[in-house]
Amino acid sequence: MNEVIEIGSASAKPGEIAEGNILVGNLGGGSEINIPITIINGINPGPCFWINGGIHGDEPEGILTCSIIKKEISPDKLSGSLILIPVMNVPAMEAAQRGNPLDTFSHDMNRIYPGREDGYLSERIAHVHKELMIKYADMEISIHSGGSHSYLAEAMFSAKDEKTQELARAMGEDWCVSLYSNVTSKSPMAIMSELGKPALTVELGGRSSTAPGSFLNVGNKLFKACKNIMCHYKMIEGEAHYPKVRHKGYQQALLAPKSGVFLPNPEIKFLTMMKKNDHIATIIDYQGNQLCDLSAPEDGMIFGLRALPNVTVGDWCTFFAIIEGQW
């Protein structure tokens, strides 16, 4: 793409950066509901790389990543274009909660695509985003994290086709786990996959990485991955780097069988192979009595762990990847 790009109120000629908003609707007091957008339109033709974050309002990692991209990537040295949606779900982000507090039903926006033009507010936001994404994007990543309750290490969800696995490999040497995702999952990635375009849901960060240094480190890791993608697809100069081994498999959620206090095994290492029945965590009651243990359900690895010690029966405790082989 090597022409003027106009999306919402943002308009960028080749070699320009433009910021703006995509209008979704208005509230009763007159204030607008917008999706913020930045367009980095490269001086030379190339693919359109679409990056969106903040589908969940307790996951600000996409905002940080997009801010770093804006500082580090110059349109004068870019072939193609970058479309940055730092936060999709602005009402949820402002409330610092997963779902949109303005909805009658607080939808998980990552489960309602393609949305509806005449639906609930979250569905309308999803619809507006989807229409623009499928019009412009050649490839897409959606940035997620463990949000307010968990921490997730470098992992991603993807379809199995060759184009998508090329994009997954292009995430770089730190991203060695690519899990199967159901293309009917009603996420932005699923919409792109249905159109035969590569897309990923990437996971990194969360509650235990929100201290200033840790949060910035997460943003830098995500920027490094985005930059590696740009190098791989010849959008910028530079050598792309790739993981030596890429694991494939699927996610299994480990839920709390009892309420109490969640105590992870201090010897756990993320993204490291475990054997079936290896110890993951213990739950104790408020008197310190052991209630139960959580163990590995199969051979695999942990890519996410609960960061909130207090736990209620049925709460999500562990993001476990059952590994079936290598890509």
With a cut of 70, say whether residue 184 has pLDDT above it: no
pLDDT of residue 142: 97
pLDDT of residue 56: 96
- What is the bridge-based pairing of β-strands 44-52 and 79-85? parallel
**Beta-bridge mates of residue 251:** 321
Domains and CATH numbers, the chain: 5-232 (3.40.630.10), 251-326 (2.40.50.100)
Q: What is the pLDDT of residues 3-48, one digit of tens each?
A: 999 999 999 999 999 999 999 999 999 999 999 999 999 999 999 9
Q: What is the pLDDT of residues 216-234, one digit of tens each?
A: 999 999 999 999 999 999 9
Percent of the chain with pLDDT over 90: 93
Give the span between the Cα atoms of 301 and 323, in whole angstroms: 7
Which of 22, 91, 103 minimizes the C-alpha distance to 57? 91
Phi, psi of 153 (to 5 degrees): -85, 180
pTM for the full predicted model: 0.95
- For residues 316 and 253, is the Cβ–Cβ distance under 8 A? yes
Q: Which residues contact 157 (CB under 8 A, 6 or more apart)?
A: 178, 179, 180, 181, 189, 200, 201, 203, 251
pLDDT of residue 212: 79
Give the span between the Cα atoms of 115 and 119, in whole angstroms: 7
With a cut of 60, say whether residue 253 has pLDDT above it: yes
Q: What is the pLDDT of residues 84-109, one digit of tens each?
A: 999 999 999 999 999 999 998 867 99
With a cut of 90, say whether residue 181 has pLDDT above it: no
